[in-house]
Amino acid sequence: MKLIFEKSVPGRRCTILPACDVESVSLPDSLRREEKPALPEMSETDISRHYTELCKQVHGVNCGFYPLGSCTMKYNPRIDEEMAALPGFAGVHPLSPAQDRKGMQQVLDTAAEYLCQITGMDDMTFQPAAGAHGEFTGVLLIKQYHDARGDKKRTKIIVPDSAHGTNPATAAMCGFDVVNIASGPDGCVDLDALRAALGEDTAGLMLTNPNTVGIFDKNILEITRLVHEAGGLCYYDGANLNAVMGVVRPGDMGFDCIHMNLHKTFATPHGGGGPGAGAVGCKAFLKEFLPHSALAEEPGHIQVRSFQGNFLVVVRALAYLLTLGKEGIPEAAENAVLNANYLMAKLRGTYTPAYDRLCMHEFVLDLSDLKKETGVSALDVAKSLIDEGIHPPTMYFPLIVHEALMLEPTETEGIETLDHAAEVLRKLYHKAFEDAASMHTAPHNMPIGRPDEVQAARKPVLRWKNT
């Protein structure tokens, strides 16, 4: 596809301004440009077509299936966008007089009340802007708790090897040493490894349950009991709450604080890097350490972002909660689990599930045999899916599974989509034996196929420069 600058035709215009009805004046030469600015010259039709074509290059959940594991790329109901766009919410200024912010406060309080009910927590902050930011806030609660009791020897945070990469990064950023513990063959925390890691220096444990291989840890009560017995606290990474919301509560599993990604489970579109919210909930004994908004002006409190965080993300979450209601929330979770198990069952026999047992909202396939036999990697299969109109699943994560593809179909997909995805994935499996070469170079129908991923992440070129 051509850049808008390449489509430019000298002299072409789309005049939308009325005729000038004031006297025109000429600027003195000293204030004038020496060269014309490098702006594209186009007709309105061509501009409209250009942006529509650009729009078609993007795969969103509105274009097709998007089974990106751990990320919950589910359909976000339009009504939540409409609520966030209401002028009273969209236009509220955090420094406006308190009586003008009453509606805003009510939204925050109500959302906190419902989300506390869902997670089994006692209080909540919406300040953090993302999941990783929420983790940072949550682990700071743990740090403040130990510090406040004068317990300075607790320097370690335990993280299982199946954890999201942000967990060890968070612990390190908060100044803790990270202790990695291996998962057992069943994908769950190895209790002996946990016991061996626990001690007087344990500040806490960070855990996702169901974990990143989509398995609910059956020993969760024993795990949190052991950590508490050692004097540590338990942090729940609830970035993705899709399997458990309204069904089981992290608070009842023994967790002391948690974050949720409102932009995954609770109706804010994400994936393009827009605003999010990593709501952090905690039990009552940690409440005093929660961040306060800048307006509270209480010294000694952490503050991780200005004011109340991304307020409109909370509006969407509350609209979502109110629309689904007490019955709809667990039903969504049950359907997410049902869809994941359905898709896994459809693929079993062709692909190898990394852990072949009932999964929660997502599951991981292990493609190492396919790679050994055909040379076709998980990356090749993922790239080939793009040509079929399906967004690749999460790849090479979690790290404990080699050649991993992690699929999360979500509850908003119908049976036809799941059947079609299973059919396409099976077709690609067989293609690997017949035409591996074309899979190594897929996708073939996209403007960009195989970017240098390291360069693209570290040195992205996001802007065209006029040379």
Ligand X SMILES: *Cc1c(COP(=O)(O)O)cnc(C)c1O
Q: What part of residues 290-319 is at the interface with ligand X (CB under 6 A)?
A: none
> Which residue, 248 or 442, is less far from ligand X as judged by CB?
248
> Which residue, 214 or 278, is less far from ligand X as judged by CB?
278
Least gap, CB of 70 to ligand X (angstroms): 4
At residue 29, what are phi and psi to the nearest 5 degrees?
A: -55, -35
Distance CA(271)–CA(119), nearest Å, equals 24
> Does 170 interact with ligand X (rule: CB under 6 A)?
no
Distance CA(393)–CA(71), nearest Å, equals 10
> Which residue, 437 or 457, is less far from ligand X as judged by CB?
457
Based on its alpha-carbon atoms, the radius of gyration of the chain, rounded to whole angstroms, reads: 25
> Does 261 interact with ligand X (rule: CB under 6 A)?
yes
Q: What part of residues 119-158 is at the interface with ligand X (CB under 6 A)?
A: 130-132
> Which residue, 71 or 337, is less far from ligand X as judged by CB?
71
> Does 394 interact with ligand X (rule: CB under 6 A)?
no
> Does 237 interact with ligand X (rule: CB under 6 A)?
yes
Pick the piece of the chain touching ligand X (CB under 6 A) from 36-44, 96-104, 236-244, 367-375: 236-244
Least gap, CB of 449 to ligand X (angstroms): 25
Residue 280 burial (C-beta neighbours within 10 Å; 0-12, 13-18, 19+): buried
> Which residue, 242 or 377, is less far from ligand X as judged by CB?
242
Distance CA(140)–CA(173), nearest Å, equals 10
> Does 107 interact with ligand X (rule: CB under 6 A)?
no
Which member of 76, 119, 127, 166 binds ligand X (CB under 6 A)? Answer: 166
> Which residue, 232 or 278, is less far from ligand X as judged by CB?
278
* 273 conformational bin, left if phi > 0, alpha if psi -120 to 50, beta if neither: left
3-state secondary structure of 24: coil
How many residues in the chain? 467
> Which residue, 261 or 339, is less far from ligand X as judged by CB?
261
Among residues 374, 311, 320, 131, the alpha carbon closest in space to that of 236 is found at 131
Among residues 226, 139, 156, 154, the alpha carbon closest in space to that of 189 is found at 226
Which member of 239, 267, 337, 382 binds ligand X (CB under 6 A)? Answer: 239
Which residues does residue 278 pair with via DSSP β-bridges, in sequence order? 261
> Which residue, 143 or 263, is less far from ligand X as judged by CB?
263
Least gap, CB of 406 to ligand X (angstroms): 10
Q: In what order do the strands lie in the sheet with 177-181?
A: 123-125, 278-282, 257-261, 233-238, 202-207, 156-160, 177-181
Distance CA(412)–CA(104), nearest Å, equals 29
Distance CA(432)–CA(440), nearest Å, equals 9
> Does 70 interact with ligand X (rule: CB under 6 A)?
yes
At residue 69, what are phi and psi to the nearest 5 degrees?
A: -55, 145
- For residues 359 to 388, the per-residue mask of contacts with ligand X, x marking binding by CB under 6 A and - elsewhere, is ------------------------------
Residue 401 burial (C-beta neighbours within 10 Å; 0-12, 13-18, 19+): buried
User: Looking at beta carbons, which residue is closest to ligand X?
Assistant: 131
Pick the piece of the chain touching ligand X (CB under 6 A) from 50-58, 109-117, 172-180, 233-241: 233-241
Give residues in contact with ligand X (CB under 6 A): 70-71, 130-132, 164, 166, 208, 237, 239-240, 261, 276, 278
